[in-house]
Amino acid sequence: MATPIEELKRHSLESLPERDLLFLVKAFADQRTDYERIRELVLGDVDIIGMFVESDRVFQTLMDQRTAVHNISPYLFFTLLLRRTFRDLEERPELLGSAVESANRRSPTIPWNEDRMRRLLGDRQLVSYLANMISAFSRSPRMFQVADGDEQLHYYLVDLVQHCQESDPVRRFWIYCHIGNYTLFLTGLFPEFIEHRYKVLGRPVDENYYIDFGKTYYGLASDHPLSRRSELDTVFTQLSSGFEIVKLFLNYMAQRYLRHAGSN
Regions in the chain scoring below 70 on pLDDT = 65-68, 260-264
Instruction: Kindly give the interhelix angle for 243-253 and 207-223, rounded to the nearest 10 degrees.
Output: 120
- Residue 260 has a pLDDT of 55
pTM, entire model: 0.93
Domain boundaries, the chain: 17-72, 74-263
- Residue 99 has a pLDDT of 84
DSSP track, 62-108: HHH-TTHHHHS-HHHHHHHHHHHHHHHHHH-HHHHHHHHHHHHTT--
Q: How does DSSP classify residue 33?
A: S
List, for residues 215-260, the tens digit of each pLDDT value: 999 999 999 999 999 999 999 999 999 999 999 999 999 999 987 5
Contacts of 263 (CB under 8 A, 6+ apart): none
- Residue 262 has a pLDDT of 46
- Residue 246 has a pLDDT of 96
- Residue 81 has a pLDDT of 96
